A and B are shown apart, each in its own frame.
Chain A
Amino acid sequence: MGSDNTDLKDFKLRPMKCECNYLSKSDGSAILSQGQTVALVSVNGPLDIKMTNQSIEKATLEVLFSSKGGKPAIGDRYKEHVIRQTCETAILGSLYPRTGITVTIQEMEDYGGFLACCINCTCLALLNAGLSMRHTFAAVACAIDELGDIQLDPAPAQLAAARATMTFVFDSRNKTLVCGFTEGSFSEDAHSEALERCRSASQLVFDFYKDIVSKYSYVIG
């Protein structure tokens, strides 16, 4: 796993485990666990969709989030929106005009850093489905506690004590920020420090992607 990397041993993420092609009916699927947090993502596409939803320039991306139990909530729609925008920048939609791509995310276990786990799992499922992408993307979550210390990939206990939580998504090419979402109050310096630490830690996630993909395919670079 990537967490063995000596240069990056300061950036500890919880152990990751992934299985691709978990579902037989989907074009691509992946189940990813980061520590105790687990998400399952299925990707279908490019497929035929209704005329009204078709776009002549690019593929229409649809993201669905399904929680484990209970009624659908507003928080689910927010996650869908965030993940859809992240995927839209990464997928080369112009290669599949007039078609639709459906990404379905199922919550399995939420023990902190769930949004980051969903985003990483989505990336693996997109890779597994064989869709053309500009770049891959990796999300890293962090929490800032009362003392101002930054904790990467927080566990539930650390989240409960946190003053602010942040999740950043980076692209694989230049490690530029694709999107970021924050909750709570923090200073500008804390934000930029957290950003840099997450940026460095994202390399671990990209290494992990390579490990997983090389199991079933040839990896370039």
Chain B
Amino acid sequence: MRDVYLSNCEKNFVNKIVSEGHRLDGRTYNESRPLNISFGSEYGSCIVSLGETKVLAQVSCEVVQPKQIRPNEGLLYINVEMNPMAAPHIEANRQTDLAVHLNRMLEKAYKDSKCIDLESLCIVVEEKVWSLRVDVKILNHDGNLIECASIATLTALAHFKRPDVTRSGDSVTIHDITEKDPIPTVLFHYPVCTTIAIFNTDILLADPNFLEESVCTSSIDDGTTPCGGLLIIGFNQYKEICVMNLSGAALSSAGIVRKGLQGASDKCKEVVDLVKKAIISDDTLRRKRVKINFSDIITQDHLQCLSKKDLNIKLKHYNIDDEVDDDIMDADSDPEPSKYDVVASKPQTAEIQTKQGASQWIEISSDSEED
């Protein structure tokens, strides 16, 4: 993994605005980025996007021999893969620490918490069991990978259906999906992980993006040890803790964890409800024989800015009707001549228009050169 450099400028700026109560993308401390779940054509494949962070998960199954010590239990493998697609600084064909960490976190959340009924995956005791394999591919790394990856894993597992099996005497027949309805996986509970970034020992940010994550785990430039860190908490829908992990600085007080847990438990419950709703709506669509495919996520109607001369910008706190304060008008009564005009167009939208006429050239006097 190549080094990612973080400039002092960025670091100080992010630290400053966070302590003033703002975030770079205009969210509040407890606000998450929009979550979106889309399904592929097969059972157990989904893409989850959390803001710009995108993760693809695919569940596959095969019949294997069970482990000697657990002859009546199926197996569950989780495999996280990160390649240069996720971020340019990640090298190919090499396990990064981050991927290993993610893999371990997901194993804790889904394997060690015993959320899957592994006994139901047994076909013949000591001979044949189903082995479920979850492949998690990081498509775009923009912070809070663990939350996005855990939602993807949970959705894929809950969405997955394995082929039906019939036993007659010693022989076992595996039915194709087309001839017999497949069986869904049994989940006892639905764990979801979430990240909380700790800034300046006492500020908690939910769903940090890439920059916020790297700022809070890096040391502040006056040489002191980092006073922030990343707290990963996993909850299921009954608000029971499944995972907890802290990276970065040591905690200064137990109160921070308690504060973090309160916010996280409600958030995880909401996410689980959303996952369940998405799976149900996908199931009803499939019953109606609607073809669901990853090609549905391709949007063609959005405008790409460079093809247009005028640029529309959506402003959250701007309205055409808002009266501009007189004080501000006085302050820049004689503004610098600009190539662009900001014009109000639709509600909450301003438009930057290029001015008509020839562009202005800065005249450089040649006197100085002659001296």
Contact = CB atoms under 8 A, between A and B. Distances in A.
Interface of A: 17-21, 23-27, 29, 31-33, 36, 38, 40, 42, 44, 47-48, 62, 64, 66, 68-70, 102, 104, 106, 108-109, 111, 214-218
Nearest 6 pairs of A and B residues by beta carbon = A33-B295, A216-B304, A69-B58, A104-B85, A69-B135, A42-B85
A214 to B, nearest CB: 7
A19 to B, nearest CB: 5
B33 interface: no
B88 A70 contact: no
Contact of A25 (B40, B81, B140, B307): B140
Contacts of A111: 41
Interface residues of B, number: 39
A216 B56 contact: no
A36 B41 contact: yes
Nearest to A44: B88
B304 A20 contact: yes
Contacts of A20: 304
B133 A38 contact: no
B92 A18 contact: no
Contacts of B247: none
Interface string B21-59: 000000000000000000011000100000010101011
B304 A109 contact: no
24 contacts: A17-B295, A18-B298, A19-B299, A21-B304, A24-B52, A24-B142, A25-B142, A26-B140, A29-B85, A32-B298, A33-B298, A36-B295, A38-B295, A44-B84, A48-B2, A64-B92, A68-B45, A69-B60, A106-B56, A106-B85, A109-B41, A109-B293, A216-B305, A217-B307
Residues of A contacting B: mostly: strand
B87 interface: yes
B3 to A, nearest CB: 11
Given A25-B141, A217-B307, A108 B56 contact: yes
- Residue with the highest number of chain B CB atoms closer than 10 Å, among A36, A69, A215: A69
A68 B58 contact: yes
Given A104-B83, A109-B40, A27 B88 contact: yes
A68 B140 contact: no
A70 B133 contact: yes
A43 B45 CA distance: 24
Contacts of B2: 48
A42 to B, nearest CB: 4
B54 A23 contact: yes
Contacts of A215: 303-304, 307
Given A23-B139, A44-B88, A68-B135, 11 more contacts: A18-B298, A27-B88, A40-B139, A66-B83, A68-B45, A70-B135, A102-B84, A104-B85, A106-B137, A108-B294, A109-B294
A33 B85 contact: no
Contacts of A69: 45, 58-60, 133, 135
Nearest to A39: B294
A70 B137 contact: no
A62 B93 CA distance: 11
Given A25-B86, A42-B84, A31 B56 contact: no
Nearest to A218: B307
A217 B137 CA distance: 31
Contacts of B293: 33, 36, 38, 109
A25 B298 CA distance: 18
Contacts of B54: 23
Given A68-B135, A69-B133, A102 B294 contact: no
Interface string B291-303: 1011101111001
